[in-house]
């Protein structure tokens, strides 16, 4: 199993310092919707404190939580890939403090500093691999529970 990657601690210090020049401190109250699936992905966050749940709309009345994120976790990766729309929704599970990054500014910085761009893309890929593995595990768990219930 892959291990959880924390974006800011995984970045080498010089790249982390360059990225942090673009950080803006923000906060979200408990239960705040941070973004909705299908919305424009023009920013991302690194959670400083609190918890965020990523969810998928199951039907018009129900959302399913697909991941829970906490301190140090990257919130939002859709800003890096066309069509630049959120694949999931996100909601603050508790009061949240985070660093917010404007995607366009980060992409410009990555063009100016290709080393930063390469390292950032690799870290985001590791985050995605870990989350995919975790989601696969949850799906298998749900499948097993469902199969047991239908016997």
Confirm if 10 and 30 have CB atoms less than 8 A apart. Answer: no
Strands, sheet with 63-69, edge to edge from the N-terminal-most edge strand: 33-35, 89-92, 52-57, 63-69
Q: What is the mean pLDDT of the chain?
A: 91
Peptide bond into 83 cis (omega under 30): yes
- CA distances (Å), 53 to each of 22, 65, 75, 88, in order? 25, 6, 10, 10
Q: What is the pLDDT of residue 57?
A: 82
Reduce the DSSP state of residue 55 to 3 states and report it.
strand
Q: What is the pLDDT of residue 140?
A: 80
pTM comes to 0.88
Q: What is the pLDDT of residue 67?
A: 86
Q: What is the pLDDT of residue 45?
A: 98
Q: What is the pLDDT of residue 130?
A: 87
* 56-97 per-position pLDDT tens digit: 888 878 888 888 999 999 999 999 999 999 999 999 999 999
* 87-130 per-position pLDDT tens digit: 999 999 999 999 999 999 999 999 999 999 999 999 999 999 98
Kindly tell me if the per-residue pLDDT of 137 is higher than 90.
no
């Amino acid at each position: 199993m892959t291990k959880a990657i924390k974006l800011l601690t995984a970045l080498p210090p010089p790249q982390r310092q360059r990225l942090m020049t673009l950080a803006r401190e923000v906060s979200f109250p408990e239960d705040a919707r941070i973004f909705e699936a299908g919305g424009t992905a023009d920013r991302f966050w690194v959670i400083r404190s609190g918890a965020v749940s990523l969810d998928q709309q199951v039907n018009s009345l129900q959302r399913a939580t697909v991941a829970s994120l906490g301190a140090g976790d990257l919130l939002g990766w859709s800003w890096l890939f066309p069509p630049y729309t959120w694949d999931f929704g996100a909601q603050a599970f508790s009061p949240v403090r985070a660093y917010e990054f404007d995607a366009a500014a980060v992409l410009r910085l990555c063009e100016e500093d290709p080393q930063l761009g390469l390292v950032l893309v690799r870290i985001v890929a590791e985050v995605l691999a870990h989350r995919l593995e975790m989601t696969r595990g949850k799906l298998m768990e749900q499948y097993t529970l469902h199969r047991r219930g239908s016997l």
